[in-house]
Structure 1
Amino acid sequence: MASLNISTAPGAVSEDAGQNSVSAAKLELPSIEQVLSNLSDMPSALPPRHSETLAQDEQEKMFRTLKSAIESAYESSPLDLKSLQGALYEADADASRGQRDTESLQSVHSILGKLWSTNSGLLSQAAEVFANGSRDPSWRVPIGQSGVLKFFLDVVSSREQVETDLLLHSLRLIGNSCADTDENREIVVKDNYTLAIFRHFLNPDLIHVAIPVIYNICMDYEPAHSQMAENRAAYIILRLLIDGIIPDNEALLGFAYDLVELSSEQAQGVENSPEGTILLLMELALNDDILFEYYSSLVNSLSIYLEKERFQNVCIVNGMVGKALSVLRRSFTIDYDASTKEDVQSMAQLRLKINTALAEISASSLFAEHYPLDSELSQTLKSWVVASEDQLQICACVMLGNLARSDEVCQTMVKNMKIHEQLIAVLNSDARGAVLHSALGFLKNLAISGDNRSRLAKAEIVPAVSRLWAFDSVPQVQFSAATIARQVIISSMDNISRLLAPLSEDSESPAHQRTYLSLLLSLFEKTDSPPIKTEIGRTVASICRTVSPKARDGDEEASSLLERLYKLHEGVAHPVGAMITQTQWPVVRSEGWFALALMATNKSGCAAVVECLQNDDVMELLKNTMAGKHSVSEEGGEANETQVQRDRDNAFVLLQELLKNESGVLSMGYRETMEDLVKDTAMQHLTG
């Protein structure tokens, strides 16, 4: 980003100054004077004024000498703020003329000191000449090397009464000399002169120059960024903005908002900022007249602050989460150029950043304490679940989903708020993948509570998630939809019967012979995702765990469900095989062996198990498991001894049940292999 040439253009303070001030309430909202007084700066190195006397003719002679030494400087020509950028480009174009002679400036350093110590009025004129000359890039390095820059830095740092004109031109010289000149910026930063310049933000006659000076010092120079942040620039400028102190000038406001964002990007700036910084950011972002570019800077800064636990807690405890929601809502009413790719992408990123910050806030344990389900904020979020704006829906699902962390809260959300009905409506809509994923995530939390599963099922969640099993453009949606199917059937005969219900009640329709589980098994065959395959296997295993024991005990409903499970679902054991062959979760592999053992207790289930064992990988793992070999996960960890023994026991039961119930479905070779495995294991038990 280009730096600026600083002119003499004045700026009026807004007539509304102070009318928009924020009440301190419980927040730490110090005044700018308080902030500056808490920061230590370097004292000016200049001697006291009036410490010497000099006749007027001697002063004028010295001034003529000084002026002669810099006679190549530009003629004085005031510029307004809007022309600063153009002036910079003109100056840069002249840079090829070469550097000025540093020695010619060193000779005037002592003259400047004399003019200061004698309190000469000619010093302001000298400062103006230097300020105008420093617009030429070829003067900048010599001004720094000769000590002239340091002299005028000491002038603006002086605690003595200094004329406004002298301060104005001193600031101009500093800003122009530092434009694209790191050597001079280093001089400024070394002794923390940025703080001295901040103090002049409070002077209505200087603020229009002081802000661009800081801008020039900081642009593309990291040490200045850090120092500005340490000096709490973001908070200082935000206070000036909220109080209407900064003149209503487009260029000046642009510099101010850029500096806020630049300071917020520094860790020191965030750590040192008063608590009220986030309130100022929100208030400004919610201003009816805020321009999109300023809103963008504010939201980028706000999101950085809210990454920190300290400011998350400040936001929650001081009741500001509603304001943060309003900042997100504001993004849908602010004017921006939707025809440009850059603005559209920028807006999308801003909404994502706000949502990420709100998600972090709602994940805090403090959030549930200060924003219970009956709070106004929770009601607002509930209304957003079915909003027309994607990001509002996502926000609502994530924040309310983070509240759903206990059985009591989850049951209240479903039984009293009936939030699940809205979420299922979202699943049945034409919502985008990101919205579906957030709604599914919320529903997964709600489904943890056992009492909620029947209500979710009665609200037709199984048909709702079944349509998402074909949502192959977003695998995360497929995975979450498969997970919910598994969750709702846990230990529930009624919900298992819903999963095994025909897709059509018309007995003449081919869909009558297909079930929702059929659709889930189709996903298993199509997907390349191991987690999805495993999740489908766990669903089948859950069915077996609930239904098989009841069927063995003579439960007619359970027996009927088992018959449907094996009769209507070819390859139903394949997903269980995927549980066994996956290498990430040893406990899931154990679930798989147990499920196959349960399947083998049923004559129809034996056929499914035999088909599963046709898979060479499954068969090899069966042999290794029976031999008691440790299995190593992808992370390099081994299953423990208890896990190995449990798997071996389940595999042994599997083989025993299979040999007892297979009714001729096993080939002679396979049967002999399995009989040998059983004998070997039995012998090991005897000898062990």
Structure 2
Amino acid sequence: MASQHPLEATEPSTEDRQAHKQLITEQKPEEQNQLYSTVPTDTPLPGSFAPPSAPLRNGPKLSNEQEEEMFRALQAIFQSAEEEDGSFEVHELLDSLADGDEDARRGRRNVIALKEVRDNLNLLWRSGSDYMVRAVEVLANGSRDPTWRGPFGQSGILEFFLRVVATDDVDDDILLHSLRLIGNSCADTNENRQLVVDRNYTIPIIKLFRNPAVAHVSIPVIFNICTDFEPAQAQVAANGVGYSLLTLLRDDLIEGNALLTYTYELLEIAAEQAQGVERSPDAALPLIVKLATDDNIDFVHLVSVTNCLAAYLQNERFQSQCITCHLVEGVISVLRRSYDRAPHDLAPDDIQILAQLRLRLNQVLSDVSAFPLFSQSYPLRSELFDTLRSWLNKSEDQLQVCACVMLGNLAREDNVCTSMVKEFRIHESLLSALNGDAKGAVLHAILGFLKNLAIAGDNKEYLGSAGIIKVVSRLWAFDTVPQVQFSAAGLTRQVISSSFNNISRLLEPLSTDPDSPANSRTYLSLLLSLFQKTDSTPIKTEIGRTICAICRTINQRQQEGTELATEASNLSERLYKLHEDVAWPVGTMVTQKEWPVVQSEGWFALALMASAPLGSLAVVDSLQSMSVFQLLNDTVKTIVSEESAGESAQEKTERLKKIKDRDNAIILVNGLLKNNPSTLPDARKVMLEDLMREVAETYQGK
């Protein structure tokens, strides 16, 4: 026969954008006296390739008449187009592009004529003609008309000027108008964008960011190529556009609101690409943190750079760097500074964006603080620890959440948890916040932090003495946020596990007035009420595991000295007399199939209950559920195969579980038959007796 002492289950291991498409004009920036510092972006990154450049300018010279004829032929093409369509207005720098398709009205441009232009351009270029600047300017002006974009690409003119910008020692005027043509030709035209990408022409354009004569155009050109076109976004990210822009911002070389906006949006685009982060040098992260903590940064730019920061901090290399270089302080200051922006200064949509930004920051800070290096670099008594501890008492919810999560990640060693409670008394601030009007997200974070603290040493007693049972009991009714209910139930289990004093507190009356109905109800009664109300299996299971912890601890105390055993017996009597439905949550544990270890834990607890006269009454009550009774019958009759030589580790675990569950189910039935509870129906009793005879015969036959 099976052992007559319940076989305890192993404790479960679950512990604990809008795109801006704009025309590029010939306007130049004001003269800049600043020197552009050298940046290592001139050389293609590993895995990339250099695009072809323009042919050498060593061809035979053309006569003035030839040059003039070629230039007039070029002008005539666009003049005739303007006479047909009406002259178009010269827009401001990067004025918004029209989206309409004009092909139907104007007809397709003469690609053959443009191919002739392409041949003439080659002659002008190779001869070093002074007309080259005037020719490219005419073409760049024409590129502002959306109907020319396709023909520019099909005729080879676009690629001609892409090769020009990929060539060294080209006059700035030629570069400027070439960039204008490229940027306008690529706006909303994926075929042309693909041409740029296929030969990696983004490399020389990014290189031109450092040329003060054309930087104000080259940045918007890259933006136009990338907008709504993922292949270009991936390529520029891999080609180091992010770090190049960061150094420009660092050196204060980006002027004007519009250009700043494109710069920050390109930063964000690059960070959204894995290669953009992976290929960035370590120097990138400090620059991002510095930008994000700039007091004068505009809100729209803050959003972009913070999203960029969050993307970088999802990478383990930058997480590690953030910790070892002590950049965490800067990151959390971005979160704190977000509350310095008054809501009345922001549009409703911006307020929502800011809220999402805080959530994303908290997520990356959670990841960083979970990194193994974090606790070594930021121990207790560090400045960051003091800052986070002060945030526990803040009214800003995301600051509280941040503090709980990061400190909770520190609280993963017993000695740290003990110091937090005994020395810093952090639990007092946490319990005070639970008693307040904190939002669900804050409550959830606090409960998770407290659960970590409750695991260590004597912390359970400190928490119990501070009134944690009473404080957390009100959250069992927090039905608007089931996650809070679940965490509250889980914290309760953690606090009472192996703590006789906290079990006593859980079984204290809700009122000390003997004439009050609440005098016969306990905090456990409230927890059992949650079991009856909730539809959440995880919550039901967590409550069941709490009951198991109670039974286990009382049973252990009963095995000790006489005085301790008497206390335990009195508490056991109170448990069963005041909570007739106490075994129902345990029944849920054995009927669920998601967590096998939890099921075994349930059979153990039911066997313990059935071994006591009052406990057997509670077990009979739970057997009203036919699913529990049928499962009991099936578990007792379980036939377990013998151990085999080729048995895998998983097969062995499953076999041993079946044996343990069967033996505990047999102990349960024996306990019921021995105590013969008055509530056990005769028919059920006979069925149990027959069941045991069948078991006995099975064992005798072996």
Common fold by TM > 0.5: yes
- Contact between 2:508 and 2:522, CA under 8 Å: does it hold in 1? yes
The answer for the alignment partner of 2:431 in structure 1 is: 424
C-alpha deviations, 1:495-523, integer Å up to 9, x for none? Answer: 11111111112222221111111111111
1:337 deviates by 6.3
The answer for the alignment partner of 1:10 in structure 2 is: 28
1:50 deviates by 4.8
The answer for the alignment partner of 1:384 in structure 2 is: 391
Q: 2:217 aligns with which of 209, 226, 246?
A: 209
AA aligned to 2:681 is S
The answer for the alignment partner of 2:127 in structure 1 is: 118
Structure 2 CA distance for partners of 1:527 and 1:16, relative to 1, 3 Å:
farther
AA aligned to 1:80 is E
Percent of aligned positions that are identical: 51
Counterpart CA distance in 1 for 2:396 and 2:131 is 64
Structure 2 CA distance for partners of 1:242 and 1:93, relative to 1, 3 Å:
farther
The answer for the alignment partner of 2:203 in structure 1 is: 195
1:232 deviates by 0.8
1:37 deviates by 2.8
The answer for the alignment partner of 1:305 in structure 2 is: 312
C-alpha deviations, 1:167-222, integer Å up to 9, x for none? Answer: 21111111111111222222222222111112221122211111111111111222
Q: 2:323 aligns with which of 316, 322, 330?
A: 316
AA aligned to 1:47 is P
AA aligned to 1:652 is I
C-alpha deviations, 1:348-370, integer Å up to 9, x for none? Answer: 22111111111111111111121
Counterpart CA distance in 1 for 2:242 and 2:446 is 37
1:104 aligns with 2:110: no
Structure 2 CA distance for partners of 1:337 and 1:146, relative to 1, 3 Å:
farther
The answer for the alignment partner of 1:287 in structure 2 is: 294
Structure 2 CA distance for partners of 1:132 and 1:649, relative to 1, 3 Å:
same
The answer for the alignment partner of 1:594 in structure 2 is: 604
1:35 aligns with 2:41: yes
Counterpart CA distance in 2 for 1:107 and 1:240 is 40
Q: 1:622 aligns with which of 625, 629, 632?
A: 632
Counterpart CA distance in 1 for 2:99 and 2:32 is 31
1:244 deviates by 0.9
1:14 deviates by 7.3
The answer for the alignment partner of 1:678 in structure 2 is: 692
Q: 2:355 aligns with which of 329, 348, 354?
A: 348
AA aligned to 2:305 is L
- Contact between 2:51 and 2:201, CA under 8 Å: does it hold in 1? no
1:239 aligns with 2:247: yes
Q: 2:157 aligns with which of 148, 155, 158?
A: 148
Does the residue aligned with 2:164 lie in a helix, a strand or coil?
helix
Structure 2 CA distance for partners of 1:655 and 1:69, relative to 1, 3 Å:
closer
Q: What's the TM-score, normalizing by structure 1?
A: 0.92
Counterpart CA distance in 1 for 2:698 and 2:367 is 55
1:43 deviates by 6.0
Structure 2 CA distance for partners of 1:630 and 1:579, relative to 1, 3 Å:
farther
Structure 2 CA distance for partners of 1:134 and 1:444, relative to 1, 3 Å:
same
Structure 2 CA distance for partners of 1:32 and 1:573, relative to 1, 3 Å:
farther
Residue pairs, 1:573-652, within 5 angstroms: 573-628=583-638, 640-652=654-666
1:653 aligns with 2:661: no
The answer for the alignment partner of 2:483 in structure 1 is: 476
Q: 1:273 aligns with which of 272, 276, 280?
A: 280
1:164 aligns with 2:210: no
Which shows bigger deviation, 457-466 or 208-217?
Answer: 208-217
Which structure has more relative contact order (CA 8 Å, sep 6+)? It is 2
Counterpart CA distance in 2 for 1:203 and 1:212 is 14
Does the residue aligned with 2:294 lie in a helix, a strand or coil?
coil
AA aligned to 2:98 is Y
Does the residue aligned with 2:408 lie in a helix, a strand or coil?
helix
1:181 aligns with 2:195: no
The answer for the alignment partner of 1:28 in structure 2 is: none
Which shows bigger deviation, 445-454 or 462-471?
Answer: 445-454
- Contact between 1:282 and 1:323, CA under 8 Å: does it hold in 2? yes
The answer for the alignment partner of 2:645 in structure 1 is: none
Does the residue aligned with 1:650 lie in a helix, a strand or coil?
helix
Structure 2 CA distance for partners of 1:675 and 1:176, relative to 1, 3 Å:
same
Counterpart CA distance in 2 for 1:592 and 1:230 is 55
C-alpha deviations, 1:85-134, integer Å up to 9, x for none? Answer: 34x22986687422210111111222222222222221111111101111
- Contact between 2:32 and 2:212, CA under 8 Å: does it hold in 1? no
Q: 1:666 aligns with which of 680, 684, 689?
A: 680
The answer for the alignment partner of 2:7 in structure 1 is: none
AA aligned to 2:204 is A
Counterpart CA distance in 2 for 1:136 and 1:637 is 72
Which shows bigger deviation, 298-307 or 649-658?
Answer: 649-658
- Contact between 1:613 and 1:619, CA under 8 Å: does it hold in 2? yes
1:409 aligns with 2:409: no
Q: What's the TM-score, normalizing by structure 2?
A: 0.90
1:549 deviates by 4.7
The answer for the alignment partner of 1:127 in structure 2 is: 136
Structure 2 CA distance for partners of 1:629 and 1:303, relative to 1, 3 Å:
farther
The root-mean-square deviation of aligned C-alpha atoms, in Å, is 2.4
1:397 deviates by 0.9
Counterpart CA distance in 2 for 1:552 and 1:143 is 91
Counterpart CA distance in 2 for 1:402 and 1:154 is 54
C-alpha deviations, 1:581-627, integer Å up to 9, x for none? Answer: 12122222222222222222322222212212222111111111111
C-alpha deviations, 1:32-59, integer Å up to 9, x for none? Answer: 6312235476365433335422333432
1:311 deviates by 1.3
- Contact between 1:17 and 1:245, CA under 8 Å: does it hold in 2? no
- Contact between 2:158 and 2:181, CA under 8 Å: does it hold in 1? yes
AA aligned to 1:441 is G
The answer for the alignment partner of 2:147 in structure 1 is: 138
Structure 2 CA distance for partners of 1:182 and 1:600, relative to 1, 3 Å:
closer
1:359 aligns with 2:371: no
Structure 2 CA distance for partners of 1:43 and 1:174, relative to 1, 3 Å:
same
The answer for the alignment partner of 1:27 in structure 2 is: none
Structure 1 stretches lacking a partner, 5+ long: 19-30
C-alpha deviations, 1:469-520, integer Å up to 9, x for none? Answer: 0001111111111111111112222111111111112222221111111111
1:238 deviates by 1.6
AA aligned to 1:567 is K
C-alpha deviations, 1:303-343, integer Å up to 9, x for none? Answer: 11111111111211111111111111122123666764422
Paired residues in the alignment total 667
Structure 2 stretches lacking a partner, 5+ long: 1-18, 642-649
Structure 2 CA distance for partners of 1:630 and 1:285, relative to 1, 3 Å:
farther
Counterpart CA distance in 1 for 2:246 and 2:497 is 54
- Contact between 2:51 and 2:200, CA under 8 Å: does it hold in 1? no
Which shows bigger deviation, 386-395 or 40-49?
Answer: 40-49
Counterpart CA distance in 2 for 1:13 and 1:669 is 100
